[in-house]
A = this chain, B = another copy of it.
Amino acid sequence: MIQDMRMSEGVEWALHTCLNLAWVERDRAVPTSTLAAFYELPPAYLNKQLQALVRAGILASTPGPRGGFRLARAPEEITVLDVVVAIEGPQEAFECAEILRRGPGGAPGVDYRKICVISQFMRQAELNWRRELAGRTLADLKATVEERFPAVPGEVRHGLTGTRT
C-alpha cells in the first residue's frame, strides 16, 4: 500500500454548504463567515471552495454589505456530481497513461484509452459511479433530510439567517 486516492476535503464542505443554502430563501445571500461558522470551518479556505462553485455556475456571489452566496439554480437542477466536479475537476480518477504505446507493438496513431481492456473496464466502472452521482440532486438530499430530521431545516435557517421561520 502506498496511500491515497482521497478526494479533497472541500467536497464535503461544498456539499453540506450547498444543501444548507437550499433551505434559505433563494434571493437571500449568506456571507462566507456565516457559512464557515456553522461548521467551524476556516472561513478563508471555505471561501476558496465557494469561488470554485461560483465559477461552475452553481452558486452566485454578491459583494458588499448584505452580500454573500446563494444558489444560482434551483436545487432540482443541481446534482451531486455537479458539486464534485466543480471542486475536484472533470478528470477521472483512473487516468489511462496509455503505457501500451511504449510496449511491443505500440503504434502512435492508436487511442489506447479505447483499446486497452484495463482502461475500458476502469472507465466503465467510474462512469457508472458518475452516473449515480449525476442522478441525485440537492432537492433529493433536501427531501430526505427533511423526512428523517424535521428539525434540521429550522436550525439551518436560524444559523444562517438569524430567523427562525
Contact = CB atoms under 8 A, between A and B. Distances in A.
Nearest to A95: B6
Nearest to A48: B2
Q: How many copies does the complex hold?
A: 2
A74 interface: no
A136 to B, nearest CB: 6
Contacts of A126: 129
Contacts of A97: 9, 12
Interface of A: 1-13, 15-16, 19, 38-41, 48-49, 52, 55-56, 80, 85-91, 93-97, 99-100, 102-105, 117-118, 121-122, 124-126, 128-129, 132-133, 136, 141, 144-145, 148, 151-152, 155, 158-159
